[in-house]
């Protein structure tokens, strides 16, 4: 009997609680998809280094899955709480008819079991289909060979999903049993009739708190944007975060008291149609709304920032490979280390290596009987110089004190990297960048790390002169020029001082660069060349001589792809879960409200309100609950993304707009989808039954 009753209850509730089932299925599917990525990539032909990156990504995703399971577990328990409340009257009738609480608990046990099995089966089916599409995305990211691609079912991901969700459903069963054991008959029968008493808060207190919280929130925004560079430790970062959280809560608290007062003062609007009913409905649950709205607002804020940031990193880093790794290989050789022994002592070089550091990169390869240039169709050699007479202190000149006050953490005693204009132009031609010219009394700075560019521009705009090897030089440009020497996937050049060739004293040579393009474009042959270079570390001479450090386009590309993939999938995983949780909590709460308010909507019909007007009132009520946290979350996100831009500056943020557009599409699709499902399910709940 209990078994049949459970099945009947599920069938009856399926239509009204589409959101609950949809969320469970979606949660299972997403959990499976992100844990099945490694099984999909097994069938792909990728390099060993790429496979290692994929394994690292899966290790991180497995750890993230533990956190995700807690989020989904909380969501399922939260959903069950509202579903239990929806059925208070039903349980009260069971108790009135003589059914024991133990049997009611058994009914809930069977229902949870059936729902769990159904959700797992459908969710895993959906997850398996989506994972095939996701595998194509992964293959595209890692540029894998899809000739060996096949439809794959991940047993490990399936088992992990079943175990995690079984634990969640078990917790739900325990929660339901405890809830039933504590319930009282009178509360169950009258639960739908009780509502929170509407308390009109003191409007003057609300205005004061709103102003104070808005100012505090503005200060938090200012700290994470304008004062970003002054945030030097965890305490400095936590301060604006805590201010933002508290201010968000207080803003919603004060608005909850002001909205009703403000709208009531607008007589024409308040008494138009069912506006007064809609507003009173909103106000009837205001105490619980404030806290939950704050949580949902913060979750939406995190979602928007996460998705925007991870997609920006992916797009920017992929674009950076083409811009910042324009040649096949770059080798750097430290030179004349014995003249700067203190500078290199910290790196653990031997005395012999330091003593023998007078070879260029090309000469060092030849010393190891390896002619690297034989593999190049074209190559160039350039040098970097440095002296303790030209540090960041000297470059900033008279602006040093004011800059040091604003940015106290910079290493102002760091020696500047100096380069001949002739050498820089050789690199610029090789990279396809702009070339420059200088008069004998001029210098310029090339940089692409935006924060340092802004700091250096303060001095350049003031026309600060520098003294180098007996020459006084003035800046040709009042801003840094865009440029770089070292290849990377990020904008890391904090500044190179470019001077006329005749100014340089060769005694201060500290680094030699060898840049080249291979004769071959075949990936396997390039890997072979670079593997042979790596084997030189086993040469006995490596104990006495320091080999050049290499940076190749292939290594940069694979490392960039791996990092961008990890960031993208982790960001998408967490972002989508947070978004689903936020929307589901709102949807379930509104479905519960609609269920509780069926009698109120019935009264509206009795006094003459037609279905169109009632549906319009319902739509507005749900829209208020969905848009209120979203509006403030979007405002938070503007400044959150500005903060993220500064953090992601090294990666580049040229691809921010497409990322924001993609985030908006995901937000509209999921959040908007939940809004529509909530509205249509609520409309079905309050519909007059004949």
pLDDT digits (tens, 9 = 90+) for 176-206: 777 666 666 555 555 555 544 545 567 778 8
What single-letter DSSP state applies at residue 45?
B
The first and second tokens of residue 311, run together, are 């997609």
Q: Are 128 and 168 part of one and the same domain? A: yes
Coil, strand or helix: which one is 141? helix
Question: Residues 162, 219: one domain?
Answer: no
Q: What is the mean pLDDT of residues 100-116?
A: 72
Same domain, 159 and 266: no
Give the three-state DSSP class for 402: helix
Contact 241, 216 (CB under 8 A): no
Q: Which of 153-162, 344-353, 461-470 has the lowest mean pLDDT?
A: 344-353
End-to-end CA distance of the chain: 28
**673 is a domain residue:** no
In a domain, 676, yes or no: no
- Beta pairing class for 509-518 and 329-334: antiparallel
Residue 190 resides in a domain: yes
- pLDDT over 70 percentage in the chain: 77
Residue 457 has pLDDT above 90, yes or no: yes
pLDDT for the residue numbered 630:
92
pLDDT band at 112 (very low <50, low <70, confident <90, very high): confident
Q: Is pLDDT above 90 for 509? A: yes
Are the beta carbons of 107 and 9 closer than 8 angstroms? yes
In sequence order, the 6+-apart residues with CB closer than 8 A to the CB of 400 are 393, 412
pLDDT at residue number 202: 73
Integer Cα distance of 278 and 688 in angstroms: 19
Residue 400 has pLDDT above 80, yes or no: yes
408 and 503 assigned to the same domain: yes
pLDDT of residue 14: 61
Check whether residue 505 and residue 376 sit in a common domain: yes
pLDDT tens string 290-306:
887 888 899 899 899 88
What integer pLDDT is reported at residue 184 of this predicted model?
61
Query: In this predicted structure, what is the pLDDT of residue 473?
Result: 94
Clarify whether residues 154 and 249 are in a common domain. no
**What average pLDDT does this structure show over 53-76?**
79
More confident site: 133 or 241: 241
Q: 286-324 and 553-596 helices cross at what angle (nearest 10)? A: 160
From residue 91, alpha-carbon distances to 180, 192, 547, 599, 610 in Å are: 9, 12, 78, 19, 32
Residues 386 and 457 in one domain: yes
Q: For the packed helices 598-606 and 553-596, what is the interaxial angle rounded to 10 degrees?
A: 60
Lowest mean pLDDT among 269-278, 525-534, 588-597, 675-684: 269-278
Q: Are 376 and 519 found together in one domain?
A: yes
- At 690 the pLDDT is 45
> Do 426 and 484 sit in the same domain of this protein?
yes
> Which of residues 538, 558, 592 is at a domain's end?
538
Q: Is residue 114 part of a domain?
A: yes
**Phi, psi of 467, rounded to the nearest 5 degrees:** -115, 120
Lowest-pLDDT choice from 108-122, 625-639, 659-673: 108-122
* Pairwise pLDDT comparison (341 vs 529), residue with the higher score: 529
Mean pLDDT of 335-358: 72
Residue 347: what pLDDT? 61
Of 255-269, 330-344, 488-502, where does the model show the most confidence?
Answer: 488-502
> pLDDT tens-digit profile of 5-58?
656 665 666 665 677 788 888 888 888 888 887 676 544 555 666 667 777 777
Strands ordered across the beta sheet of 376-385: 466-468, 471-475, 442-446, 496-499, 417-420, 376-385, 509-518, 329-334, 549-552
| Among candidate residues 55, 72, 96, 157, the one with its CA nearest the CA of residue 584 | 72
Mean pLDDT, residues 321-337 taken together: 87
Give the pLDDT of residue 263.
66
For the CA atoms of 258, 264, 265, 271, the dihedral, rounded to the nearest 10 degrees, stands at 150
Q: For all residues of the chain together, what is the average pLDDT?
A: 80
Highest mean pLDDT among 14-18, 117-121, 174-178, 332-336: 332-336
More confident residue, 604 or 356: 356
pLDDT at 653 over 90: no
C-alpha closest to that of 458 among 389, 418, 404: 404
Backbone angles phi, psi at 118, to 5 degrees: -60, -45
Domain boundary among 218, 245, 272: 272
Give the bridge partners for 330, in sequence order.
515, 551
Kindly give the pairing relationship between strand 442-446 and strand 471-475: parallel
Q: Looking at the structure, do residues 160 and 236 belong to the same domain, yes or no?
A: no
50 vs 533 pLDDT, higher one: 533
Q: Is the pLDDT of residue 469 over 80?
A: yes
Of 33 and 362, the structure prediction assigns the larger pLDDT to 362
pLDDT of residue 408: 79
Helices 101-141 and 155-182, packing angle to 10 deg: 150
Determine, yes or no, domain membership for 316: no
Task: Give the model's pLDDT for residue 83.
Answer: 65
Q: What pLDDT, on a 0 to 100 scale, did the predictor assign at position 332?
A: 94
Alpha-carbon gap, residue 561 to 572, rounded angstroms = 16
The residue range of the domain holding 268 is 197-272
Short-list 505, 115, 568, CA closest to 339? 505
Q: Same domain for 167 and 236?
A: no
Total structural domains in the chain?
A: 3
Q: Among 132-146, 343-357, 449-463, where is mean pLDDT lowest?
A: 132-146
Categorize the per-residue pLDDT at 583 as very low, low, confident or very high, splitting at 50, 70 and 90. confident
Q: What's the confidence (pLDDT) of residue 201? A: 63
Query: Which of 154, 123, 554, 156 shows the shortest CA–CA distance to 330?
Result: 554
Query: Is 25 within the bounds of a domain?
Result: yes
In-domain check, residue 565: no
Tell me: do 461 and 480 sit in the same domain: yes
**Across 538-542, 576-580, 666-670, least confident range:** 538-542
HSE-up of residue 453 (Cα within 13 Å, Cβ side): 18
Domain boundary among 226, 241, 272: 272
More confident residue, 280 or 676: 676
What percent of the chain is predicted at pLDDT more than 90?
21
* Least confident among 258-267, 301-310, 457-466: 258-267
Asked, for residue 11, whether it belongs to a domain, the answer is: yes
């Amino acid at each position: 009997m209990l078994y049949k009753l459970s099945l009947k209850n599920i069938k009856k509730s399926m239509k009204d609680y589409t959101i609950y089932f949809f969320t469970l299925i979606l949660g299972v599917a997403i959990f499976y998809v992100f844990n099945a990525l490694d099984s999909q990539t097994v069938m792909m032909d990728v390099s060993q280094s790429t496979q290692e990156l994929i394994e690292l990504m899966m290790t991180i995703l497995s750890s993230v899955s533990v956190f995700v399971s807690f989020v989904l577990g909380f969501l399922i328990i939260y959903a069950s709480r509202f579903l239990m409340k929806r059925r208070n009257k039903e349980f009260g009738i069971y108790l009135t008819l003589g059914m024991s609480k133990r049997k009611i608990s058994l009914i809930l046990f069977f229902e949870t079991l059936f729902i769990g099995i159904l959700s797992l089966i459908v969710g895993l089916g959906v997850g398996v289909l989506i994972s095939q599409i996701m595998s194509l995305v992964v293959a595209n990211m890692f540029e894998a060979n899809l000739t060996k691609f096949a439809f794959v079912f991940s047993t490990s991901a399936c088992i992990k999903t079943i175990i995690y969700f079984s634990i969640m459903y078990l917790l739900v069963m325990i929660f339901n049993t405890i809830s039933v054991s504590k319930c009282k008959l009178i509360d169950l029968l009258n639960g739908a009739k009780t509502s929170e008493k509407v308390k009109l808060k003191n409007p003057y207190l609300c205005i004061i708190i709103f102003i104070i919280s808005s100012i505090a929130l503005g200060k938090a925004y200012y700290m994470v944007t304008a004062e970003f560079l002054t945030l030097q430790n965890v305490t400095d970062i936590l301060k604006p975060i805590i201010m933002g959280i508290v201010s968000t809560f207080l803003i919603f608290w004060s608005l909850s008291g002001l909205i009703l007062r403000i709208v009531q003062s607008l007589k024409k609007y308040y008494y138009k149609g069912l506006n007064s009913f809609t507003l009173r409905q909103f106000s009837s649950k205001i105490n619980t709304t404030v806290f939950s709205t704050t949580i949902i607002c913060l979750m939406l804020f995190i979602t928007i920032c996460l998705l925007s940031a991870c997609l920006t990193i992916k797009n920017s880093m992929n674009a950076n490979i083409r811009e910042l790794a324009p040649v096949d290989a770059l080798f750097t050789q430290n030179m004349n280390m014995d003249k700067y022994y203190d500078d290199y002592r910290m790196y653990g070089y031997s005395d012999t290596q330091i003593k023998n550091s007078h070879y260029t990169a090309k000469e060092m390869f030849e010393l190891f009987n390896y002619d690297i240039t034989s593999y190049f169709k074209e190559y160039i050699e350039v040098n970097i110089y440095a002296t303790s007479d030209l540090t960041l202190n000297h470059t900033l000149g008279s602006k040093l004190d004011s800059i040091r006050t604003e940015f106290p953490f910079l290493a102002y005693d760091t020696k500047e990297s100096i380069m001949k204009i002739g050498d820089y132009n050789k690199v610029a031609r090789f990279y396809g960048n702009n070339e420059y010219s200088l008069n004998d009394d001029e210098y310029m700075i090339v940089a692409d790390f935006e924060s340092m560019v802004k700091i250096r521009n303060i001095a350049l705009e003031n026309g600060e002169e520098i003294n180098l090897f007996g020459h006084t030089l003035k800046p040709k440009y009042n801003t840094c020029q865009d440029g770089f020497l070292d290849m990377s996937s990020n904008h890391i050049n904090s500044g190179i001082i470019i001077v006329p060739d005749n100014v340089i004293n060769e005694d201060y040579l500290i680094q030699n660069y060898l840049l080249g393009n291979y004769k071959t474009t075949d990936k396997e042959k390039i890997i072979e060349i670079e593997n042979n270079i790596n084997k030189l570390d086993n040469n006995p001479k490596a104990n006495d001589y320091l080999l050049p450090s290499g940076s190749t386009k292939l290594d940069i590309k694979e490392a960039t792809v791996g990092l961008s993939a990890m960031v993208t999938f982790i960001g998408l995983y967490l972002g989508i879960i947070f978004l689903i949780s936020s929307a589901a909590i709102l949807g379930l709460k509104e479905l519960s409200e609609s269920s509780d308010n069926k009698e109120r909507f019935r009264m509206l019909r009795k006094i003459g309100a037609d279905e169109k007007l009632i549906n319009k009132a319902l739509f507005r009520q749900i829209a208020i609950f969905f848009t209120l946290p979203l509006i403030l979350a979007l405002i938070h996100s503007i400044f959150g993304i500005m903060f993220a831009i500064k953090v992601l500056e090294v990666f580049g943020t040229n691809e921010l707009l497409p990322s924001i557009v993609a985030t908006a599409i995901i937000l509209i699709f999921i959040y908007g989808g939940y809004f529509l499902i909530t509205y249509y399910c609520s409309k079905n709940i309050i519909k007059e039954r004949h």
